Structure 1
Amino acid sequence: MMRAAVVDTCGRPPSVAECPEPAAGPSEVRVRVTAASITPLDLLCASGTSYFGVPATPYVPGVQGVGELADGTPVWFATSAGMLPGNGSMAEWAVAADGDVVPLPEGVDHRLIAALGLSAVAALMALTWRGDLRSGEQVLVLGGGGVVGQASIQLARLHGAGRVIAGCRSDAAQRRAERAGAAAVVRIDRPALDERLAEHGPFDLVVDPVFGAPAVAALHALRPGGRLVNLGSSAGENAPFDSATLRGKHLSVLGYTNTELTKEQRADALAVIAEHVRAGRLTLDYETVAFADIGDAWSRQAAGTADRRLVVAL
């Protein structure tokens, strides 16, 4: 038997229970889990309101995690918990498909990798693959205090950006963006955003996990030929930008989602992230919570009262 976080009823936090250890099926491996983050996708799936439909309960949540194989190899792994029938990473043991397991460097910080995870993959690929970041370019990262934002600030600098400016909506987010290495922070929750962004621009590339009014102001701050890569909508589902702005400066507005990556691309991106972590070049402001406290941590994350990524230590 093992300890596992179990969602019995959609819309309610999981509770810790004793469950049978899972057995690996064909083309699967067993992982002894060491850390798992509570992500927005976990919350969405367990709410029963996601586009994947209502998950069958009870189930163990956790769409990603970090742990060790039977031979001690450290790995990151993904699951389809909450999206398809089956259990996820928030247990002492989990199973994952061979193609969803990525080896990690020896000695890498498991909790930090769990905290970064697919959010850092999104940041890296939005910058380099979708955004085509070039050496010396000036980058604006909206939502700079979030997980994607903090990772984007650091990864932009590590991959050749000349100067990185962050846009933030709170004092706490501003402090996180500054610790991540932003050269300057612009508050996007205040009036006259166009003017304040213009003081730091023009920008070549915008990483945008917020959309809404901040995305409109960011488009105005792009130089001719600039690109905006959108990967979220925390500030609004709509952004009323005008045709003249796009045409007049030959701008590109690009969408990004991790679901469009091949498993090989995802593994390659995670390898890059893990090496940055191992070398001490990439970090994140996150909070570790004990496995016994997962219900309270889940509730805080769902209510928005946790101001950072929560990582469950097993």
Structure 2
Amino acid sequence: MRAAVLHTPGSPPSYGEHPAPEPAAGSTLVRVRAAPVVPLDLLCASGTAYLGVPATPYVPGGQGVGVVEVSETHEPGTRVWFFTPAGMAPGDGSLAELCLVPDGDVVPLEVTVPDDLAAALGLSGVAAWMALSWRAGLVAGERVLVLGGGGAVGQAGIGAAHALGAAQVVAVARPGSADRARAAGAEVVVPLDTHDVDELTASLAQHGPFDVVLDPVFGVSASAAAGTLAPGGRLVNLGGASGDAAVFSSAGLRSRSAAVLGYTNNALTPEQRTSAVTAVLEHAAAGRIRMAYDVVPLADVEAAWLRQAAGTGSRGVVRPS
């Protein structure tokens, strides 16, 4: 089959031929229609993360959308979203024409959301949805601040917050990605044009206080956002795109009985992940959750990989055919 094949950890995968997976008991063979290139794919392929060095060659790609070809559990022809541990465990991933997936990591899709959008949202949508609904316990009528609003998790989080009943959603976004945050549904977009915590806090305070902060970036943005939490407010961190450290005021947190919480998709059960995927894509089909993405053919996967590494532009979604 044709696939994106990673030969050297830390380098981009290259387009070429790779052995096709064989059907196996307990697994579903999926013909891939769309698969995103996401930061986790690059992390797994780097060979420098806590995940260890992956065995090469292998096909990266931790998720995708496709159609069941062979399965003892799922009806052939069923349209599905799927998860793979490629790069974290032996085996190939989704950036190929075919992918062999454990039966429990296959989610049948009954909604009419396009393949490309379903793939683009995927686990980013799951993270945003579960961080808000499960970890933060977002209640209808609360006010939400989304950091990194122009990124994939941020865009999904803006729509998810509205779908969960938020009274208002404010986003922080770099000037170059502010339009994506607005298109995702943010009523107000505060430009991230400073690295001064006090200055950013003052800008955010004009629109706060906030009951919930969705934070996929950490760093200066998280430090500033913590200063705008309402009494009982919750900041949920699910990434460190802007750094692995942030500074919080003890007095500020204690005086508001506020909480700083961590979140990871790895803590979800397969049932929680399935429920979240279904919810996110149902809202996407209804136009409530949106995300900007660019579609590229599998033959151009190296360019999509490098663009993700540079952190520029919208999400790249690869089509094998």
Specify the TM-score bucket, using the shorter chain as the normaliser.
Answer: over 0.9
Picking from 260, 265, 268, the partner of 1:258 is: 265
Contact 2:5 2:18 in 1 (8 A): no
User: SS where residue 289 of structure 2 aligns?
Assistant: coil
User: SS where residue 260 of structure 2 aligns?
Assistant: strand
Of stretches 20-29 and 252-261 in structure 1, the one that deviates more from structure 2 is 20-29
Deviation of 1:129 after TM superposition, in Å, equals 0.4
**1:310 pairs with 2:309:** no
In 2 relative to 1, CA 80–165 (structure 1 residues): closer, same or farther, beyond 3 Å? Answer: same
Corresponding residue of 1:167: 172
Of stretches 105-114 and 120-129 in structure 1, the one that deviates more from structure 2 is 105-114
**Deviation sequence 1:30-69 (CA, Å, 0-9, x none):** 0000011001111111111121111111111111111001
Of stretches 257-266 and 241-250 in structure 1, the one that deviates more from structure 2 is 241-250
**1:226 pairs with 2:233:** yes
Deviation of 1:265 after TM superposition, in Å, equals 0.1
**Deviation sequence 1:234-263 (CA, Å, 0-9, x none):** 122111212111111110111100000000
User: SS where residue 69 of structure 1 aligns?
Assistant: strand
Distance (whole Å) between structure 2 residues aligned to residue 106 and residue 193 of structure 1: 40
Distance (whole Å) between structure 1 residues aligned to residue 191 and residue 46 of structure 2: 32
Distance (whole Å) between structure 1 residues aligned to residue 13 and residue 28 of structure 2: 25
In 2 relative to 1, CA 177–36 (structure 1 residues): closer, same or farther, beyond 3 Å? Answer: same
TM-score for the superposition, normalised by structure 2: 0.94
* Corresponding letter in the other structure for 1:295: E
Distance (whole Å) between structure 2 residues aligned to residue 108 and residue 140 of structure 1: 27
User: SS where residue 118 of structure 2 aligns?
Assistant: helix
Distance (whole Å) between structure 2 residues aligned to residue 217 and residue 11 of structure 1: 34
Distance (whole Å) between structure 1 residues aligned to residue 127 and residue 6 of structure 2: 27
**Deviation sequence 1:149-171 (CA, Å, 0-9, x none):** 011111101110000000112x2
Unaligned runs of 5+ in 2: 70-75
Distance (whole Å) between structure 1 residues aligned to residue 244 and residue 303 of structure 2: 29
Deviation of 1:106 after TM superposition, in Å, equals 5.1
Corresponding residue of 2:301: 294
CA RMSD of aligned residues (A): 1.2
Corresponding residue of 2:186: 182
**Deviation sequence 1:204-253 (CA, Å, 0-9, x none):** 11001111121121111111111111111112211121211111111011
Distance (whole Å) between structure 2 residues aligned to residue 193 and residue 19 of structure 1: 49
**Deviation sequence 1:266-289 (CA, Å, 0-9, x none):** 000001112112223322111101
Corresponding residue of 2:72: none
User: SS where residue 136 of structure 1 aligns?
Assistant: coil
Corresponding residue of 1:154: 159
**1:246 pairs with 2:253:** yes
Contact 1:105 1:274 in 2 (8 A): no
Contact 1:109 1:277 in 2 (8 A): no
User: SS where residue 276 of structure 1 aligns?
Assistant: helix
Q: Which runs of 4+ in 1 moved over 6 A?
A: none
**1:200 pairs with 2:201:** no
TM-score for the superposition, normalised by structure 1: 0.96
Of stretches 294-303 and 4-13 in structure 1, the one that deviates more from structure 2 is 294-303
Of stretches 148-157 and 212-221 in structure 1, the one that deviates more from structure 2 is 212-221
Number of aligned residue pairs: give it.
311
